Amino acid sequence: METGAIPHYQAQAQEVTLFEHAFRRQLPVLLKGPTGCGKTRFVEHMAAKLGRPLYTVACHDDLSAADLVGRHLIGDGETYWNDGPLTRAVREGAICYLDEVVEARKDTTVILHPLSDNRRILPIERTGETLHAPPEFMLVVSYNPGYQNLLKGMKPSTRQRFVALRFDYPQPELEARIVAQEAGVDDKLAAQLVKLANALRVLKEHDLEESASTRLLVYTATLMQDGFEPQAACRAALVEPLTDDPETVEALMEVVQTFF
């Protein structure tokens, strides 16, 4: 059981209660929303609150079913079986969080389906073993619908196995509270940063793939807390991470200058 402190998480709506019910009812959960809006922190918070170990896997386009389930390895001239994080989570009754699940290779779907419907089984083809997930095991996946990669969208047959929670950047007062708490800055500065972020977010449609996240606001506030000039902190932690185009950087810095 987890004994560490519960990571701080500011709830946006009913997500904490919903997650608790999903856990008790053995339902898998899908979190959708833009990067840096608190999905990972939410899962860390819930795992600690529910007293379950957490296995987090950042999915990428080379991640295969074997990376999740496990594989035979060679050591000391012998082959032995090595559980992947998903298998370990099933055995231990842990929470397994697959971040950006749509990035993973298609063969992972075959593994996730029987585990995310009422069978709750993990067949390990290579060893012939079939694991039955204990009641404490929970599968949580996330993805960012904003990327709109049609090839990599989530198939309805997968999506409809999950209870889905939509995340977004928190309301301004809440986001300011998060920034103040996470970076240790005063409420006034946090509120000003959130105003700036919302001004930048409006520009999103024009040039940027992704808008300023809560994570970037926390980074910016942290640099300011360390004594960096506001404009230098905004450039390094809020503007440069958003774009590689020098002209767009300067356009965004003009917005920054109207706030700091």
- Residue ranges of the alpha helices (H) in the chain? 15-24, 39-50, 65-69, 85-92, 107-116, 156-159, 172-183, 187-202, 204-207, 214-225, 230-234, 246-257
Task: Report if residue 222 touches ligand ADP, rule: CB under 6 A.
Answer: no
Piece in contact with ligand ADP (CB under 6 A), picked from 37-45, 70-78, 203-211, 252-260: 37-45
Residue entry with tokens 């298609």? 106
Q: At its nearest, how many Å lie between ligand ADP and the CB of residue 86?
A: 19
Binding ligand ADP (rule: CB under 6 A), the pick from 28, 32, 41, 94 is: 41
Taking a C-beta distance cutoff of 8 angstroms, is the pair 156, 182 a contact? no
Binding ligand ADP (rule: CB under 6 A), the pick from 22, 29, 30, 37 is: 37
Among 200, 220, 219, 199, residue whose Cα is nearest residue 210: 200
Task: Report if residue 67 touches ligand ADP, rule: CB under 6 A.
Answer: no
Binding ligand ADP (rule: CB under 6 A), the pick from 122, 139, 178, 200 is: 178
* DSSP conformation letters of 44-74: HHHHHHHT--EEEEE--TT--HHHHHEEEEE
Binding ligand ADP (rule: CB under 6 A), the pick from 22, 32, 35, 230 is: 35
Binding ligand ADP (rule: CB under 6 A), the pick from 215, 222, 241, 243 is: 215
Task: Report if residue 28 touches ligand ADP, rule: CB under 6 A.
Answer: no
Task: Report if residue 38 touches ligand ADP, rule: CB under 6 A.
Answer: yes
Among 169, 185, 191, residue whose Cα is nearest residue 222: 185
- Closest CB to ligand ADP among 218 and 224? 218
Task: Report if residue 23 touches ligand ADP, rule: CB under 6 A.
Answer: no
Task: Report if residue 39 touches ligand ADP, rule: CB under 6 A.
Answer: yes
Piece in contact with ligand ADP (CB under 6 A), picked from 88-96, 107-115, 188-196, 211-219: 211-219
- Closest CB to ligand ADP among 39 and 161? 39
Task: Report if residue 36 touches ligand ADP, rule: CB under 6 A.
Answer: yes
- In a 10 Å sphere around its CB, with 0-12 CB exposed, 13-18 middle and 19+ buried, how is residue 193 labelled? buried
30 Cβ contact partners less than 8 Å away, ≥ 6 residues apart: 140, 141, 142, 143, 154, 159, 162, 163, 164, 165
253 Cβ contact partners less than 8 Å away, ≥ 6 residues apart: 231, 234, 235, 239
Distance from C-alpha of 160 to C-alpha of 253, rounded to nearest angstrom: 42
Taking a C-beta distance cutoff of 8 angstroms, is the pair 85, 65 a contact? no
Task: Report if residue 19 touches ligand ADP, rule: CB under 6 A.
Answer: no
Task: Report if residue 158 touches ligand ADP, rule: CB under 6 A.
Answer: no
Task: Report if residue 32 touches ligand ADP, rule: CB under 6 A.
Answer: no
How many binding residues for ligand ADP (CB under 6 A)? 16
- By the criterion CB under 6 A, which residues form the site for ligand ADP? 8-10, 35-41, 170, 178, 182, 214-215, 218
